[in-house]
Amino acid sequence: MDIYQVDAFTETLFKGNPAAIIPLKKWMNSEDMQHIAAENNLSETAFLVKKSEDRYGIRWFTPETEVDLCGHATLASAHVLFEHLGFSGEKIRFDSHSGELNVQKKDNLYWLDFPSQPPSPVSVPKLLPEAIGCIPIYTGTNVDLLILVDSEKTVQKMKPDLEILKRMDVRGVIVTAEAEESGIDFVSRFFAPAVGVPEDPVTGSAHTVLTPFWSKKLGKTEFKAKQLSKRGGTLDTILKDDRVWIGGPAVTYMTGKIEISE
């Protein structure tokens, strides 16, 4: 099988979020896909099956489990189709566990059309202050737990206790604050030790929660966002009714072959 490794949400190698992309002629069994994702040991491995000229099935696996939605690996998949596999249409349609997801390429950016997932306020979980080392200003949930803290510096310097986060009943934890840098609206980090991702470098799916949250807070619909992981990455996001458009570039790091005995 062919395999591609792509750095998403960056134009520079060794930045952004790496994802492995594996095009298949037909679906493998889930156990084998999970083994491959564990072997890759990246935050996400995406598998694709072509269904028609502009439509593909897509599934995403962390090293430990299959997930229902992943932004950076979808963006990386579109990059592979456009740049390596000769896709020449205007829009790629992906069928996923989260419904149809469309990706368009405009200039050097890939734009993901994802469902908006605004958070609902919840009380501060009992273990959270100990886990993150501070009292959040706001906590909300929609798939993942969203935490608003007082400053970009707090986000940047946070060293959460991953063992405590792993024990909490959440898939992932998004920490966010208003940006201090000119031209950036908000910053974030994303931790998901419960699914085998201690810290995700750049998380497209988290911005389906962040974008409607910051739209309500700042009274606007278009944003420039930055994820403050060690690798780092920037995203353009737009709230359009019940959808979030997430834009970013990508660059290929590696192409290769996987050999599995029948």
Q: What is the pLDDT of residues 115-160, one digit of tens each?
A: 999 999 999 999 999 999 999 999 999 999 999 999 999 999 999 9
How far apart are the C-alpha atoms of 40 and 34, rounded to whole Å? 10
Active site residue 31: no
- Quote the Cα angle for 89-92-95, to 5°: 150
Q: Which residues pair with 175 in a beta bridge?
A: 147, 189
CA 156 to CA 235: how far, in whole Å? 17
**Distance (Å, whole) CA 250 – CA 252:** 7
DSSP-derived secondary structure letter, 26 = S
What number of CA atoms fall less than 13 Å from residue 131's CA on the CB side? 21
Contact of 22 with 59, CB cutoff 8 Å: no
Q: What's the pTM? A: 0.94
**Count of residues in the chain:** 262
| Average pLDDT of span 44-70 | 97
Distance from C-alpha of 36 to C-alpha of 41, rounded to nearest angstrom: 9
Catalytic residue among 11, 31, 44, 199: 44
pLDDT at residue number 49: 98
pLDDT single digits (tens) 162-183: 999 999 989 999 999 999 999 9
